Structure 1
Amino acid sequence: MTGTIFDSSLSLGSRDDNAIAEYLMSIDDIDGAKSVLAQAPGGQGFLSFGSAYKCSGFMLGFIEPPKDDEVEVPIRAASVVQADHSLVGQRIKISLDKFFVHAYPGSGEHNILCEFAGKNQVADEVEELRFAVRTKVRDNASASISGHPIFLGVTVGSNGISFEGRAINVGSSLDETVLSALDSAAFKSGLSLIATAQPALKPFAGLAASVVKATLDRKKNVQVHTFNLGLDFGGNASSVRLRVGSYVVVQTDDQQWDWSGYRWNRGTLSLRSKEGAAPSVNYMVFGVTKFESAPQT
């Protein structure tokens, strides 16, 4: 593997305000740069639209599979849910069910590259997984993604699964040829795994990693957010357990974030406050379901 590290210190929000403004200027987001500098020490501004992408931390919520007639579904902190030990040795599917952008660097339509990594436990071997998908979305809108398969057939080990992800803002117009590799049927249909080791996975994962690396090598492209989810079966108060349901990753530095004040609305497929308002944050929702292979014909 390439040794790529999903490191929050590489995110745009980890830079100082002057460096963030410099990046925004490089992609012709003049208003965004002015807003960031206005928030800097000595500036005259208040928290602005760009605060959503200046965060480098995250909070993780969990949504239980809803009842048939349930529209407003409660969300709990993922750290308090109970693990489903019956998933050990079973195969699961991980999908990207929602990507909402409240604000991203630049103006107009954003070109965003998402990369995901994990591990597949097959017999005595551990396969490294890597998958990438790109999307285009405007501020205050959802990407045209719903139930997009990422990993299909991941075998859950006795210690759970590792799942990492990051989102990259592509401000360079020169990367269309490189990114077009992600438009192939193989990437659009998710990374399909089987119950035995697959030598072909290494070059596939290497291609995804190479596309991301080539994109990040350009100065106008920058990591906006990253997260690392270790979903296990332990009982530690500081860990997160694995079970079937939906995991909500909110890009925020607010350590006082309270999930009891939010609901998942099945009608709009969106995160809402109890009062019905959309929070001013970027977020992703990942579905974890049991994998069902196609019947043999």
Structure 2
Amino acid sequence: MTKPIFDSSLSLGSRDDSAIVDYLMAIDDQDGARRILSQQPGGQGIFPSDTAWKCSGLTLGFIEPASGQTTKLPINAASLVQADRNLIGERIKISLDKFFVHSYPGSGEHTVLCEFAGKNQVPGEVEELRFALRTKVRDNASASISGQPIFLGVTVGSNGISFEGRAINVCNSMDDIVLSALDSAAFKSGLSLIATAQPALKPFTGLAESVVKAALERRKNVQVHNFHLGLDFGGNASSVRLRVGSYVVVQSDDPSWDWTNWHWDRNTLSLQAKDDKGSAPKANYMVFGVTPFAS
């Protein structure tokens, strides 16, 4: 697998409390700043649920493709997934199927910039891929995203695929003009790849990279989370394999997270607790679909 492009040390939760408070005050989130100043962590990496954005780790689950009319689907730890070697040399589609925010810095409606990177292993060349989108979402709610194509037609290499992403909290109103570049039809439809190298792809991915870089240079914009998924065909207990299905990326530092306490509800397209309340997790999460690509 390749070296990650995105750096977790850039995430807001990696800063010390003093720097976090300075940022929250800069975006007029005085309540959030007071919570940081008064919080008493119950253990390493455990913080009040209203600062779920402070977590810098991830917990990864996997949902098998649905069959029949079953509405509540089990979620397994992604490390238990069995690789599908039939995908080697095939082309797949990667989509963002869900983005749920339990809490984000600031108040009211958040503008979130999401950037994703990967590689397309076409014959004789490896293409760098970048895709970015922006969305608006409030705390304890889902962004209006469902089945958003990210990469269409990624060729799976013999060592699997490397896929990573990050979410950036955008609080500088002047960036609306810069981010409007992401509203074009080309960006909204995802990167549609062909089986051979595309010279025109490089400026397209370069534009995505430059837009995100420009946004991050603003003091009021900050990376909230990043993740790196190396999906391969090995058998190591510490790695994650590639197969068709849905990967659930939870922004969490909780070492005791247990997927048997959760299921995926097809009626609401959401992660729910298996208790009587069916509550949502007190964590931010994304769900990515991996499906065969139909050209």
Give the structure-2-normalised TM-score.
0.95
Matched residue, 2:287: 285
User: Secondary structure of 1:22's partner?
Assistant: helix
Gaps of 5+ in 1: none
Gaps of 5+ in 2: none
Conservation of the 8 A alpha-carbon contact between 1:58 and 1:251: yes
1:236 paired with 2:228, answer no
1:7 aligns with 2:7: yes
Calculate the aligned-residue CA RMSD, in Å: 1.4
1:1-297 matched pairs, under 5 angstroms: 5-39=5-39, 47-275=47-275, 276-293=278-295
Measure the CA separation in 1 of the matches of 2:47 and 2:216. 28
Deviations 1:91-130 (A, max 9, x none): 0000000000000000000000000000001001100000
Q: CA deviation at 1:47?
A: 4.7
Deviations 1:62-93 (A, max 9, x none): 00001221111000011111000000000000
Give distance in 1, aligned partners of 2:188 and 2:153: 16
Tell me how far apart the structure 2 counterparts of residues 47 and 212 of structure 1 sit (CA, whole Å).
29
SS at match of 1:202: helix
Q: Retained in 2: the 8 A contact 1:36–1:50?
A: no
Q: CA deviation at 1:22?
A: 0.8
Q: For residue 50 of structure 1, report the CA deviation from its aligned partner.
A: 3.2
> In 2, are the aligned partners of 1:17 and 1:40 still within 8 Å (CA)?
no
Would the alpha carbon gap of residues 26 and 4 (structure 1) be closer, same or farther in structure 2, given more than 3 Å must change?
farther
Q: How far 1:286 moved relative to its partner?
A: 0.1
Shift of 1:48: 3.3
Runs of 4 or more, structure 1, over 6 Å off, are: none
Separation (CA, whole Å) in 2 of partners of 1:128 and 1:277: 39
Q: Which amino acid aligns with 2:249?
A: V
Amino acid aligned to 2:217: D
Is the partner of 1:173 in helix, strand or coil?
coil
TM-score (norm 1): 0.94
- 1:238 is aligned with what amino acid? S
Bigger CA drift: 243-252 or 60-69? 60-69
Write the distance in 1 (CA, Å) between the matches of 2:153 and 2:255: 34
